[in-house]
């Protein structure tokens, strides 16, 4: 907090790791010592009083510091004898969002509940003072969360020493689980000059093992050894490892499970490190025609009874058009002399009133990719969703006939999150884009492209399955 080059501080970790309490103490101390104004956000105003606001009050009382701080309830505010103020607001309070620039520090408690658009608003409005900072704390509840995908995954993990040893505090009292920062970046400033931006983001990771009020202090003179809490974590380890992974180890995971459409999908078996493109094998591509949140294009290669997904192209607004998608494909995959097979939804053969007479989704794609010598592979009619889902679960995924490159993040998200409807089809959950306000189906677009590809590339196996694959020996084990 004292380093003015640091703009963003992320505290990630498990339950009982001290993230919030430590941040509250640091903000109060900074208010006392330096007169720093802070704005504290939660996703909704209604959730503040019994959570982070209560934590501030608790710390002040434990410090016996009511003489230094005045606690107000309406509006929720803490005033410090130094003149500093700590205000509290929900992201549902537009006036508070507009006034961010007057504060030196913005603290978002449980920031995983915030939308990416919320973070963008804060980031853009935090301006006009030297050393302004954003602090966010979170449990890593969802490995597909925007914080991981758009913030953490774009940072090279450069571990820094996790202890402070300045001759005053012994290292064992300041150790945390992990700490890393981003790398320097180069920009062109408004004067047209190249300028180096020093590392401006730090991630601090902690677990319950770093909390002296769970495991006791190293010297044994303060803190608390909480045997019941430790036993509870050990129970999670034995009975629900994913829950343990998130809340004990502080690692990214997936909190909610159950009702998945692709029941046989297992990331540990079906997701592999980046798969290189082999120009000596044909390319297979599959489309989903929906434009929101993106036009979905999946890129595969295959040989015999094995197929693998090497890439996905998912361009968001304003580039969520077939033309932009095909242009991106051409850039990434120059003409392949071994051939190009195109798959997709048969209903996209229909005439489109927005296009010239005789044109449809596939005539445009075939024309744009004509030099690839493409061939269109569509079913005579789209197979029933429930049937194709059962086939994929019981044959393709169970027999490990398919793997996905870990660069295909939207595809992996689909497999993990698309749910099964009561009628056996895919449950198409709706979401609304926070910027364009357009509603769209949240999950299922990339797995739809996979479905189209599977049912055609593995047409023989699918036909046997439809006739009773179990008797035909397709399914084993």
Residue 365 main-chain phi, psi, to 5 deg: -65, -45
pLDDT value, residue 324: 95
Per-residue pLDDT at 2 exceeds 60: yes
Please, is 246 exposed, middle or buried when counting C-beta atoms within 10 Å of its C-beta (0-12, 13-18, 19+)? buried
Q: Give long-range contacts, CB 8 A cutoff, 24+ apart: 24-30.
A: 24/52, 24/55, 24/56, 24/59, 25/59, 26/1, 27/56, 27/86, 27/105, 27/107, 28/56, 28/59, 28/60, 28/63, 28/65, 28/69, 28/78, 28/80, 28/86, 30/1, 30/84, 30/105
Q: What is the mean pLDDT of residues 234-257?
A: 80
Tens-place pLDDT, residues 81-136:
999 999 999 988 777 788 898 999 999 999 999 998 899 999 999 988 899 999 99
pLDDT bin (cut points 50, 70, 90) of residue 328 is very high
Strand extents, DSSP E, 131-229: 133-138, 158-159, 178-181, 185-188, 194-197, 201-206
pLDDT bin (cut points 50, 70, 90) of residue 301 is very high
Domains detected in the chain: 8-247 (3.40.50.300), 267-472 (3.30.420.280)
CA gap 280, 52 in Å, rounded: 58
Q: What is the mean pLDDT of residues 198-210?
A: 93
For the record, the structure tokens of 329 come out as 């494909």
CA gap 290, 293 in Å, rounded: 8
pLDDT value, residue 317: 85
H/E segment holding residue 168: none
Report how far apart, in Å, the C-alpha atoms of 288 and of each of 176, 275, 280, 325, 348 are. 45, 22, 26, 11, 9
Torsion of CA 275, 280, 282, 286, to 10 degrees: 20
Please, is 467 exposed, middle or buried when counting C-beta atoms within 10 Å of its C-beta (0-12, 13-18, 19+)? exposed
Per-residue pLDDT at 433 exceeds 60: yes
pLDDT bin (cut points 50, 70, 90) of residue 475 is very low
Per-residue pLDDT at 416 exceeds 90: no
pLDDT bin (cut points 50, 70, 90) of residue 39 is very high
Per-residue pLDDT at 270 exceeds 50: yes
| Least confident range of 219-223, 399-403, 426-430 | 426-430
pLDDT bin (cut points 50, 70, 90) of residue 330 is very high
pLDDT value, residue 167: 67
The model's pTM is 0.65
């Amino acid at each position: 907090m004292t380093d003015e080059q640091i703009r963003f501080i992320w505290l990630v970790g498990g339950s009982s790791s001290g993230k919030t309490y430590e941040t509250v103490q640091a903000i109060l101390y900074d208010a006392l010592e330096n007169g720093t104004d802070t704005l504290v956000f939660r996703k909704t105003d209604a959730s503040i009083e019994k959570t982070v606001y209560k934590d501030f009050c608790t710390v002040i009382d434990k410090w016996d510091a009511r003489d230094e701080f005045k606690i107000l309830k309406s509006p929720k505010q803490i005033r410090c004898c130094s003149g500093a103020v700590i205000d509290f607001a929900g992201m549902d309070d537009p006036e508070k969002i507009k006034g961010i620039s007057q504060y030196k520090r913005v603290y978002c408690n449980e920031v995983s509940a915030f939308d990416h658009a919320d973070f963008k608003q804060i980031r853009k409005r935090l301006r006009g003072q030297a050393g302004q900072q954003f602090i966010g704390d979170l449990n890593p509840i969802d490995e597909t969360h925007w914080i991981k995908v758009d913030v953490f995954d774009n940072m090279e993990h450069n571990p820094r020493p996790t202890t402070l040893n300045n001759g005053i505090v012994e290292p064992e009292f300041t150790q945390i689980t992990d700490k890393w920062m981003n790398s320097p970046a180069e920009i062109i400033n408004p004067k047209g000059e190249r300028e180096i931006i020093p590392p401006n983001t730090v991630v601090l990771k902690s677990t319950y093992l770093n909390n002296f009020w769970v495991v006791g202090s190293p010297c044994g003179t303060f803190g608390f050894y909480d045997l019941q809490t430790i036993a509870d974590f050990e129970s999670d380890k034995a009975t629900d490892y994913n829950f343990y992974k998130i809340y004990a180890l502080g690692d990214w995971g997936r909190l909610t499970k159950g009702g998945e459409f692709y029941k046989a999908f297992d990331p540990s078996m079906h997701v592999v490190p980046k798969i290189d493109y082999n120009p000596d094998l044909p390319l297979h591509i599959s489309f989903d025609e929906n434009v929101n949140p993106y036009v979905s294009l999946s890129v595969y290669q295959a040989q015999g009874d094995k197929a693998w997904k090497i890439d996905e192209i998912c361009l968001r607004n304003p580039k969520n058009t077939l033309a932009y998608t095909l242009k991106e494909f051409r850039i990434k995959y120059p003409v392949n002399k071994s051939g190009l097979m195109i798959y997709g939804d048969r209903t996209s053969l229909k005439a489109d009133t927005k296009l010239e007479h005789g044109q449809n989704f596939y005539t445009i794609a075939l024309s744009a990719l004509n030099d690839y010598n493409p061939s269109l592979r569509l079913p005579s009619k789209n197979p029933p969703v429930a049937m194709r889902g059962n086939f994929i679960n019981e044959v393709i995924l169970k027999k490990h006939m398919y793997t996905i490159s870990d660069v295909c993040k939207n595809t992996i998200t689909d497999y993990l999150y698309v749910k099964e409807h009561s009628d056996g089809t895919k449950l198409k959950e709706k979401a609304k884009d926070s910027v364009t306000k357009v509603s769209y189906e949240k999950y299922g677009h990339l797995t739809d492209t996979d479905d189209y590809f599977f049912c055609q590339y593995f047409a023989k196996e699918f036909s046997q399955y439809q006739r009773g694959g179990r008797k035909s020996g397709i399914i084993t084990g």
